[in-house]
Amino acid sequence: MSNLLTRSLSALVYAILSISAILVSAETYIGLLAIFATVCIGELSKILKLKSFIPYLLLAYVVFSSIKKTINFTDFLLAITLFGLAVLLYLLISTKPIKTEAFSEKIFLQAIYLIFPFYFLINLPFIDNMYQPYIIIYIMLLIWTNDSFAFLVGKNFGKHKLFEKVSPKKTIEGFIGGVVFSIIVGFIIGQYSGVFSILNWVIIAVIVSVFGSLGDLVESKLKRQANVKDSGTIMPGHGGLLDRLDSLFFLAPFVYLYIHYIM
């Protein structure tokens, strides 16, 4: 079986499973995300060489709290998460290494990079306590648009490297192409979705495109530091599940901030 066919089939299974779970109910959405997050924690633990149940216990608390609505410090949690992600972006841009030697550093990275963003991803489609599944569907569409056109534009027109030491194949032209086509799709979503205005969807498209790309680069930096190519092998042709979801987890707090605090 060719690599292209393997990748296509793997992506199709992932898409069908994800979209089905999102559309059926809030419970199936949260349940699937919990499974995905559990797998991603395991993959990141291997990258970090971390052997601990603490990340899984923290994840279980986040899932339980999201279902029961028991977390009363969302503002504080969002602030901590955004600060932590901003630190990771600073380390990415400054080319300084992400410290992962100490046990506390590994736990902190698991929380900031995966578990806390997972909480905001769970709660992202709940508007006035009502589950709005198409918000997540549209965000996934924007991610797919950004990734696809960043690749196509970068492959055909890319000449200037974006972060060559972290991801040699990514180019500035590809990054811009992904943002531009995401804005176009965001505009179309805004016209026909019935959820949020055109302007809001265009802004969300920019957030998704920019922070999704940066999240992918942060994971690439972590893998390069650990000298591994993929986070895992669960998705044939794609690598690990974290390789597929890194951008979604990373952008979730920023989109949540815009939808629930700014918009």
Cα–Cα distance, 155 to 112 (Å, whole number): 32
Q: Decide if 248 contacts 212 (C-beta within 8 A).
A: yes
pLDDT score of 9? 75
Position 68, amino acid: K
pLDDT score of 143? 94
For 72, phi and psi rounded to 5 degrees? -110, 10
pLDDT score of 73? 81
Helices (H), the chain: 3-24, 26-48, 54-68, 74-94, 103-110, 116-123, 133-157, 172-192, 198-226, 241-257
Cα–Cα distance, 24 to 243 (Å, whole number): 25
pLDDT score of 11? 72
Cα within 13 Å of Cα(11), Cβ side: 13
Residue 111's Cβ-count burial label (10 Å; 0-12, 13-18, 19+) is: buried
State pTM to two decimals: 0.92
Tens digits of pLDDT across the chain (263 residues): 456 566 667 777 888 888 999 999 999 999 999 999 999 999 999 999 999 999 999 999 888 887 777 777 888 999 999 999 999 999 988 878 888 889 999 999 999 999 999 999 999 999 888 999 999 999 999 999 999 999 899 988 888 888 878 888 889 999 999 999 999 999 999 999 888 999 999 999 999 999 999 999 998 888 888 888 777 666 665 677 888 888 999 999 999 999 999 98
pLDDT score of 5? 61
pLDDT score of 119? 92
pLDDT score of 235? 62
